[in-house]
């Protein structure tokens, strides 16, 4: 019908089609190995899930296999911190794109220990500090929050990855101690790092991730539970920062070519929010030079294009 959005195929069929095309692409990318436990994953895993606001979930491939969500966890930490801290949080972390690597130290020194945004490591460590300072058991608060959002009590941290992050976390420790020297970390640095590594090591499937973040597509209201997770202003702010800073140093290009608030992690996960429609989560471990999943980028880009999903059109 003229004037209405033409869905070329049923969403599930479309996902399957896109997944197969992604798997047929020439081999590219590399699994992250700077955290050795991450390199253990089967590089061929490929999955995608779309959780729609009406509760429908469409999947293809390995969408139900839990993976290391890594930096996608920064969204959960931030949401909790924004609710607990209010506007005081923005004295300690800004909302600007960094234009630097996610774990860069230089900018933090120039800018006196105030990280550019909550989606680079330094910013997420400040957020972790606020949670450690606020809760007597911050890791428990976080995991309970994530489990209830995803409606999956089985979500847990991967002990091996958590340990591996601790053992190879010198750069994150450097960021944290540098910020401590500028009085931008309040709690004990090692406790803050432990919380940060814990949240990075959460294992969730594409279905879990897509379901859990549905509130970001729905002005803060979690459609499955009807619970208010955050207010519309916070939802707007999280989505805005995801749009400008969620995809590492490829955020501009992702906005340019796809146009959805999104976050990726070095475990190969990529989540994209489609306001008023739902949440897409794709996963495949091989990363491009920016740290974004090669197949994940391809699948989300294709899906957004074929369904006409963009916040900018
Ligand atoms: N745990 C990883 C780190 O801190 C997260 C990186 C990421 O996914 O961007 O280095």
| The predicted structure's pLDDT at residue 3 | 39
Q: Give residue 307 CA to ligand 1 midpoint distance, Å.
A: 31
Tell me if 196 CB under 6 Å of ligand 1. no
Q: Specify the 3-state DSSP secondary structure of 47.
A: strand
Whether ligand 1 lies within 6 angstroms of the CB of 62 is answered as no
What is the predicted pLDDT for the residue at 100?
86
Whether the CB of 70 sits within 6 Å of ligand 1: yes
pLDDT grade, residue 103 (50/70/90)? confident
CA of 137 to the centre of ligand 1 (A): 22
Of 282, 288, 303, which is closest to residue 61 (Cα–Cα)?
A: 282
What whole-number distance in Å separates Cα of residue 293 and Cα of residue 254? 12
CA of 121 to the centre of ligand 1 (A): 7
| pLDDT greater than 80 at residue 281 | yes
Task: Please name which of 145, 150, 148, 142 lies closest in space to residue 124, comparing C-alpha atoms.
Answer: 142
By annotation, the residues acting in catalysis are 71, 74, 196, 248, 266
Mean model confidence pLDDT for the chain: 95
Q: Which helix (H) or strand (E) holds 110?
A: helix 106-110
| Ligand 1 atom having least distance to the Cα of 71 | 8
From 175, 265, 269, the mutation candidate for ligand 1 (largest count of ligand atoms within 8 A of CB) is 265
Are the CB atoms for 165 and 197 separated by under 8 Å?
yes
> Contacts for 227-230 with beta carbons within 8 Å, 24 or more apart?
229/79, 229/83, 229/149, 230/79, 230/82, 230/83
Evaluate if pTM is beyond 0.75: yes
* Calpha distance 144→156 (Å, rounded): 10
Q: What is the pLDDT of residue 9?
A: 62
CB of 248 closer than 6 A to ligand 1? no
Alpha helices in 121-220 (DSSP H): 121-134, 138-150, 159-167, 170-181, 189-200, 206-212
Any residues with CB less than 8 A from the CB of 23 and at least 6 apart, and which?
Answer: 44, 46, 61, 295
Is pLDDT at 225 greater than 70 in this prediction?
Answer: yes
* Mean pLDDT calculated for residue range 295-307: 97
| Inter-residue contact 77 to 99 (CB < 8 Å) | no
Residue 69 tokens read as 């969500």
Residue 70 Cα to ligand 1 middle (Å): 5
What does the pLDDT average to over 108-119? 96
Q: Which residue has the tokens 């003229």?
A: 2
CB atoms within 10 A of CB 280: 30
Q: Is the CB of 175 under 6 A from ligand 1?
A: no
Average pLDDT over residues 42-68: 97
Q: How far is the CA of 21 from the centre of ligand 1 (A)?
A: 28
Cβ–ligand 1 distance for 130 under 6 Å, the answer: no
User: Hey, where are the domains in the chain?
Assistant: 2-307
Calculate the CA dihedral of residues 135, 141, 142, 148 and round it to 10 degrees. -150
Q: What is the dihedral of CA 173, 176, 177, 181, to 10 degrees?
A: 170
Q: What number of CA atoms fall less than 13 Å from residue 151's CA on the CB side?
A: 14
- 172 ligand 1 Cβ < 6 A: yes
Question: What is the dotted CATH code of the domain comprising 2-307?
Answer: 3.40.710.10
What's the pLDDT score for residue 57?
A: 96
**151 neighbors 142 (Cβ within 8 angstroms):** no
């Amino acid at each position: 019908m003229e004037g209405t959005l033409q869905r070329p195929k049923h969403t599930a069929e479309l996902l399957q089609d896109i997944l197969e095309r992604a798997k047929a692409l020439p081999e590219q990318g590399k699994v992250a190995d700077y955290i050795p436990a991450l390199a253990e994953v089967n590089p061929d895993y490929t999955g995608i899930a779309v959780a729609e606001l009406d509760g429908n979930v469409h999947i293809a491939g390995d969408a139900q296999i839990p993976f290391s969500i890594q930096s996608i966890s920064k969204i959960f930490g931030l949401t909790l911190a924004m609710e607990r801290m209010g506007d005081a949080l923005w004295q300690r972390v800004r909302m600007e794109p960094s234009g630097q690597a996610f774990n860069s130290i230089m900018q933090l020194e120039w800018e006196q220990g105030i990280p550019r945004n909550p989606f680079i490591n330094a910013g997420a460590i400040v957020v972790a500090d606020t949670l450690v300072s606020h809760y007597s058991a911050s890791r428990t608060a976080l995991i309970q929050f994530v489990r209830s959002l995803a409606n999956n009590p089985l979500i847990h941290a991967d002990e091996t990855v958590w340990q591996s992050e601790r053992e190879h976390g010198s750069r994150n420790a450097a960021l944290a101690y540098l910020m401590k020297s500028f009085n931008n970390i309040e709690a004990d640095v090692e406790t803050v790092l432990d919380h940060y590594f814990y949240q990075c090591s959460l294992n969730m499937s594409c279905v879990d991730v897509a379901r859990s973040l549905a509130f970001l597509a729905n002005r803060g209201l979690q459609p499955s539970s009807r619970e208010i997770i955050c207010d519309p202003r916070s939802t707007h702010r999280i989505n805005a920062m995801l749009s400008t800073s969620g995809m590492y140093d490829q955020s501009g290009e992702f906005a340019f070519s796809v146009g959805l608030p999104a976050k990726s992690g070095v475990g190969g996960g990529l989540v994209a929010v489609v306001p008023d429609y739902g949440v897409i989560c794709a996963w495949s471990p091989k990363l491009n030079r920016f740290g974004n999943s090669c197949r994940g980028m391809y699948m989300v880009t294709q899906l957004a294009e074929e369904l006409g999903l963009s916040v900018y059109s």
